[in-house]
Amino acid sequence: MVKRRPKDTIAAGRRHTVGLKSDGTVTAVGDNKYGQCDVSGWRDMAAVAAGNVHMATNTGNAHTIGLKSDSTVAAVGWNKHDQCDVNDWRDIVAVAAGWRLSVGLKSDGTVVAVGRNNEGQCNVSGWHDMVAIAAGDWHTIGLKWDGTVAAVGNNRYGQCNVSGWRGIVAAAAGYLHTVGLKSDGTVAAVGWNKRDQCDVSGWRGIVAIAAGSYHTIGLKSDGTVAAVGWNEHGQCNVSGWRDIVAVAAGCAHSVGLKSDGTVVAVGDNEYGQCDVGGWRGIQLPGK
């Protein structure tokens, strides 16, 4: 049974990267066109999420979500579809952000969502017994306490075909694919696989996962990292990483949190979203 409610302390969007510090403040680098990096005033935060956006040239608008220690939620950035209207949320224990979408997991196992709902990605009102959530561009994933998975939203490429999954302990959602981490350290993936982002069947010893637009990252129990999928920007060049305790995937960049609270990043850096070399004191997961 899944009992852990992970709290993400690093997050990556289309053009920005967010980090939660151990003192409860938040730092962000990258594109700030819509104020998605305006987190310097945040305090007493417990988790962060970044709206991930696919790579199309006409996108990039993004937002950032912060879960406060009092179980309320803050949001900054692009709000065209009311995806930042989370001020009335209460009893939240985890947050996720997609493209024009924000999702919150409540302490009672139910889920709330705001934002664009053209594909039904906000239709989570009937969900219950959830312990984790993930948001892709146009679909939303919920992990239940019994290790099964629910999905709503766009299913054009089968990215919501998770009803047969069992023994799942973590889930991640990319642009058009969904990834599930099993209790035995193996990984399942469904959805669009044109860039081989779903080729994870050979992975073993995985303890955490992340999904970008067209790539998938797996954190191994020994602190090294595996990656498959689109690598045009070098976002899969993680073979040299060591001592990693958490991973995040943006549209075309990958971020790793090290055991000493520093952060590494590879991939698309057009907006400085990989400029995390100076970060210190980032909160370690589970601390």
Which region among 29-38, 51-60, 138-147, 248-257 has the lowest average model confidence (pLDDT)?
A: 51-60
- CA-only gyration radius of the chain, Å: 16
Can you tell me the distance from the alpha carbon of 5 to that of 16, in angstroms, rounded to the nearest whole number? 25
pTM value?
A: 0.97
Over residues 21-77, the pLDDT tens digits come to: 999 999 999 999 999 999 999 999 999 999 976 777 666 789 999 999 999 999 999
Residues 6+ apart with CB under 8 A from 19: 9, 10, 11, 26, 27, 28, 48, 257, 263, 276, 279, 282
Read off the pLDDT of residues 81-131 as tens digits, 9 standing for 90 and up. 999 999 999 999 999 999 999 999 999 999 999 999 999 999 999 999 999
Q: Are 199 and 217 in contact (CB under 8 A)?
A: no
pLDDT tens column, 223-242: 999 999 999 999 999 999 99
Q: Which two tokens stand for residue 202?
A: 């050979």
Cα–Cα distance, 252 to 36 (Å, whole number): 17
Strands 168-173 and 177-182: antiparallel
CA triplet 275, 261, 44: central angle to 5 degrees?
95
Measured distance CA(19)–CA(76) in Å, rounded: 14
